[in-house]
Structure 1
Amino acid sequence: MKTALNSNTKEEYPHMASYIDPNQLDLEDRVVAINRVTKVVKGGRRLRFAAIAIVGDKHGHVGFGTGKAQEVPEAIRKAVDDAQKNLIEVPIVGTTIPHEVIGHFGAGEVLLKPAVEGSGVAAGGAVRAVMELAGIVDVTSKSLGRNTPINMIRATMAGLEQLKTKEAVAELRGISATQLQD
């Protein structure tokens, strides 16, 4: 009997995304939010810091992570480490995304639309950071739900995971990519 530890092939586990090694990429990181959080205990309040970070190589790989620690630099380091473990590959067509998509997470919803070349990233805050680090230069976005940074990032990442290339759509339909254009 094979275990998941020694045989992680796509044939055996088609539902699992392939692992992206962060050491082989030239990753850039950006801290999106740092929150001061407290835990009330018998002796008073325990103060800690929670950080949200995004990493990307600006060539179609992006990830996000969270970290919590008693010091800000340690929380940021944990968030960046977590982000490197959660990298995804984003299909890019020219300078934009292949098609329109809506990403959902909790009460947060993000509409991502392809934009013409030269229009730039029309997105705010956390969504802008994800798009820039993914390498998407031209895109329009609209927040449709709650806009807390973590929900916006998770909804954006969910939307980016839904994106499919023209070849992937043709394969799902059982036709060639040239037939899809016709």
Structure 2
Amino acid sequence: MARLLLKHFTIANWWASEVQLGKSVSALSTPSEYVLVRNISFFNKLPAEDIWRGVTAVSNAGKKRGRGKGTGKKVAKDLNRGQTIGLGKKNFIWPGLNAPIIRGNEITHQQKQFENMDRENSIISLRDSMGNFKLMKLNPIDRGWSGTKMPGRSIGSPDAVGEENFNLFDTRVLENKIVFIMKGNMGRKRRYSVLSVTGNKNGLAGFATAKAPEVRTALRKSRNRSGQKLISIDLYENRTINHDFYTAFGKTKIFVFKKPEGYGLVCHRAIQTICKVIGIQDLYAKIEGSTNLQHIVKAFFIGLMRQKSYNDIANEIKLHVVERQMAKNGFTEIKASPVQDLQISENNRFIDFMQFTLGNKIVLRKKKIPPYYVNSKGHHLFECKAERFRNQSNVRLHKLVNCYM
């Protein structure tokens, strides 16, 4: 849309203006005093939000590289909310704006109204509420590994399948990430990938991975799929594993050790979450190599499924399985005996149970770098004073864990 503005031209400028303006000027009979001007520009064609977004936003290529993650948050307050023309600190009646010009048979005149303090307080409270963007506070028990993020949080039990329900099961999210797939007709298609584990805390557990365009859909699919892939795991005294074992998947290697009652779970946070849904309470695990989360989960479940009972081990090596408890002054207890007759040579054979279950592998123990003050006089005095308490922490732990006979 265009409008014509009145402008004075001299005779000398007429021919140049005629060439520039084209047909619209040449059609006039006399030297024109009209210039074609557009009243639409970039600044009045788009709203203010779109203009500011064009200045402050990040391109699609920048978003793929992780830029501009905090640009979507609204920092400024909309001060126009709650405002009405004519109402404020000084209330006025403006005919034609907030009041009709003619009311009945009388003409409305401009006049002042009484001040309304309640309206000012309501606007102030509205602005204060706009500035507070507080996230919903979670119960400390419902928190995940890192604040309000999904990994480590509980998403309930799987949905029932026919007459089978999962009321006693609890599902925990282990991984929640965004993945992309290239399609010929759609280009880069974004989806959410969720890895979760479910269990009844009594030796029955399963894990699964699911992908979906929406987060809630991916969580639901992963939860229900993990309930359909349950694995029965044998536990020792319903609190720990049967024996130490070594397991691996890909470049991930895990050494898992059986621990006495009261020791707790000293391991990777993903293994801790898996142990809680399975029902394992005392365990130590050391990871070597890659810490890929899916490899850790698969390797740990492979190790749990490959456990052997004491009877199977006794029949395999054709020896008695004897446990010596150092916390009980070396008290020995026979755990299993072979079914067949023993074939023992003149020299009795002794097999290290830990090395047998670990597959003759040992944990890589890196030598610690000594601190800079190791040769100082003060550190030498400290070691002399702490010499008589050198084993006190281990003794206290064994007193709490096991009772002496």
Q: TM-score range by the shorter chain?
A: 0.7 to 0.9
Aligned to 1:68: 211
Q: Which has the larger radius of gyration?
A: 2
| Separation in structure 1 between the aligned mates of residue 165 and residue 290 of structure 2, nearest angstrom | 34
TM-score, normalised by the number of residues in structure 1: 0.78
> How far apart are 1:174 and its partner, in Å?
7.7
Paired residues in the alignment total 161
The Cα offsets for residues 8-42 of structure 1, whole Å up to 9 and x where unpaired, read as xxxxxxxxxxxxx9746721100111010012335
Aligned to 1:52: 195
> How far apart are 1:163 and its partner, in Å?
1.1
2:323 aligned with 1:165, yes or no? no
Higher relative contact order (CA 8 A, sep 6+): 1
| Separation in structure 2 between the aligned mates of residue 22 and residue 102 of structure 1, nearest angstrom | 35
> How far apart are 1:125 and its partner, in Å?
2.0
| Separation in structure 2 between the aligned mates of residue 80 and residue 24 of structure 1, nearest angstrom | 11
2:340 aligned with 1:179, yes or no? no
The Cα offsets for residues 90-120 of structure 1, whole Å up to 9 and x where unpaired, read as 1111221110111221112211110111110
Aligned to 2:276: 132
| Separation in structure 2 between the aligned mates of residue 125 and residue 144 of structure 1, nearest angstrom | 15
Q: Where do 1:106-121 residues align within 5 Å? A: 106-121=250-265
> How far apart are 1:172 and its partner, in Å?
5.4
The unaligned stretches of length 5 or more in structure 2 are 1-162, 321-334, 339-405
Q: From 15, 29, 35, give the equivalent of 2:171.
A: 29
| Separation in structure 1 between the aligned mates of residue 224 and residue 277 of structure 2, nearest angstrom | 16
* Letter of the 1:29 counterpart: T
Q: From 73, 98, 119, give the equivalent of 2:242.
A: 98
CA RMSD of aligned residues (A): 2.5
Greater share of strand residues, 1 or 2? 1
Deviates more, 1:145-154 or 1:41-50: 41-50
Aligned to 1:86: 229
- Work out whether residues 22 and 85 of structure 1, in 8 Å CA contact, stay in contact via their aligned partners in 2: no
| Separation in structure 1 between the aligned mates of residue 178 and residue 165 of structure 2, nearest angstrom | 31
Aligned to 2:289: 145
- Work out whether residues 110 and 144 of structure 1, in 8 Å CA contact, stay in contact via their aligned partners in 2: yes
| Separation in structure 2 between the aligned mates of residue 44 and residue 117 of structure 1, nearest angstrom | 55
Decide whether aligned partners of structure 1 residues 92 and 147 sit closer, same or farther in structure 2, where only a CA change above 3 A counts: same
- Work out whether residues 109 and 144 of structure 1, in 8 Å CA contact, stay in contact via their aligned partners in 2: yes
Point out 4+ residue stretches in structure 1 off by more than 4 angstroms: 170-178
> How far apart are 1:175 and its partner, in Å?
8.8
TM-score, normalised by the number of residues in structure 2: 0.37
SS in 2 for 1:151: helix
| Separation in structure 1 between the aligned mates of residue 164 and residue 268 of structure 2, nearest angstrom | 26
Decide whether aligned partners of structure 1 residues 45 and 157 sit closer, same or farther in structure 2, where only a CA change above 3 A counts: same
- Work out whether residues 311 and 336 of structure 2, in 8 Å CA contact, stay in contact via their aligned partners in 1: no
